[in-house]
């Protein structure tokens, strides 16, 4: 149980990553991914990478620079411009709905204007899900200068779009619906220099 704990990616740049195991019964037509990160990186870095054999950027949360997030579905992306962080924890949630192609992005409990992305697409179920690296092939193909360095916590993946109330609940660490990946019952494997530590502060 990773309650009140974090993954610390100690090195910069780093070849380390964390593999997450999720049981997906079928391909995803809707999903929400949430996580909390703390870093002083100004170079590009990957937060959450979900690759299939057919598509390395099936789902990707990527931060090319401090004032921008990119959200990929099926190899295409939309960009969300954000205020440059105050060197504090940033909580992000991104959700996507196939039927409308609507992509939602929430930062620290607040929604950004919605954008259109991959209407009618289906996300494959057989996936390699990694924290800390961006996959250029299934489970590998890393560029060290896209690696994450810093702290990650509160990682979740749901096979549904969360309501605004639940998005805010995720930010506030309140009770959440059952998830494919849930921080408090995460099945994971550390590869390389990543340390599990208690949170320094709430």
What was the pLDDT predicted at 189?
Answer: 98
What was the pLDDT predicted at 2?
Answer: 94
Residue 202 has pLDDT above 70, yes or no: no
Q: Which whole number is the average pLDDT over 178-187?
A: 96
Alpha helices in 131-176 (DSSP H): 164-171
Instruction: Give the tens place of pLDDT for each residue, 165-177.
Output: 999 999 999 999 9
How many angstroms separate the CA atoms of 118 and 123, rounded? 10
How many angstroms separate the CA atoms of 50 and 57, rounded? 7
- Binning pLDDT at 50, 70 and 90, where does residue 6 land? very high
Q: What's the CATH number where 65 sits?
A: 2.60.120.200
Paired tokens of 172: 């506030």
Residue 8 has pLDDT above 70, yes or no: yes
Residue 73: which of 43, 115, 15 has the closest Cα? 115
How many angstroms separate the CA atoms of 9 and 73, rounded? 25
Instruction: Give the tens place of pLDDT for each residue, 72-100.
Output: 999 999 999 999 877 899 999 999 999 99
Instruction: Give the tens place of pLDDT for each residue, 15-52.
Output: 999 999 998 989 999 999 999 999 999 999 999 999 99
Total domain count, the chain: 1
CA distances from 160 to 25, 84, 144 (A): 14, 29, 32
What was the pLDDT predicted at 85?
Answer: 75
- SS3 category, 71: strand
Q: Which whole number is the average pLDDT over 128-137?
A: 97
Q: Which whole number is the average pLDDT over 105-112?
A: 98
pTM of the model: 0.97
The answer to whether residues 155 and 180 touch, using CB atoms and an 8 Å cutoff, is no
What was the pLDDT predicted at 77?
Answer: 98
Residue 145 has pLDDT above 70, yes or no: yes
The answer to whether residues 170 and 154 touch, using CB atoms and an 8 Å cutoff, is yes
Q: Determine the distance from the C-alpha atom of residue 163 to the mean position of all C-alpha atoms in its chain, rounded to a whole number.
A: 18
Q: Range of 160's domain?
A: 5-198
Residues of the chain with pLDDT > 70, as a percent, come to 100
Residues written for the chain: 202
- SS3 category, 191: strand
How many angstroms separate the CA atoms of 135 and 140, rounded? 5
Rounded to the nearest 10°, the torsion over CA 40, 136, 162, 114 is 80
What was the pLDDT predicted at 127?
Answer: 96
What was the pLDDT predicted at 84?
Answer: 85
Residues of the chain with pLDDT > 90, as a percent, come to 95
How many angstroms separate the CA atoms of 146 and 169, rounded? 30
């Amino acid at each position: 149980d990773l309650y009140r704990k974090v993954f610390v990616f100690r090195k910069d740049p780093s070849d380390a990553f964390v593999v997450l195991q999720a049981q997906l019964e079928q391909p995803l037509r809707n999903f929400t991914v949430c996580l909390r990160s703390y870093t002083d990186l100004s170079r590009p870095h990957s937060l959450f990478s979900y690759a299939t054999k057919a598509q390395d950027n099936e789902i990707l949360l990527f931060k090319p620079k401090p004032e921008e997030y990119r959200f990929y579905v099926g190899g295409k992306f939309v960009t969300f411009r954000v205020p440059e962080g105050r060197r504090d924890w940033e909580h992000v949630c991104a959700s996507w709905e196939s039927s409308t192609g609507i992509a939602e992005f929430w930062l620290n409990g607040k929604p950004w204007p919605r954008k259109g992305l991959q209407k009618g697409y289906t996300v494959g179920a057989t996936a390699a899900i990694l924290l800390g690296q961006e996959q250029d092939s299934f489970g590998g193909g890393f560029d060290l200068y896209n690696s994450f360095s810093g702290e990650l916590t509160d990682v979740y993946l749901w096979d549904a779009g969360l309501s605004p109330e639940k998005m805010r609940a995720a930010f506030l660490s309140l009770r959440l619906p059952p998830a494919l990946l849930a921080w408090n019952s995460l099945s994971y494997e550390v590869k390389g220099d990543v340390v599990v530590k208690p949170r320094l502060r709430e």
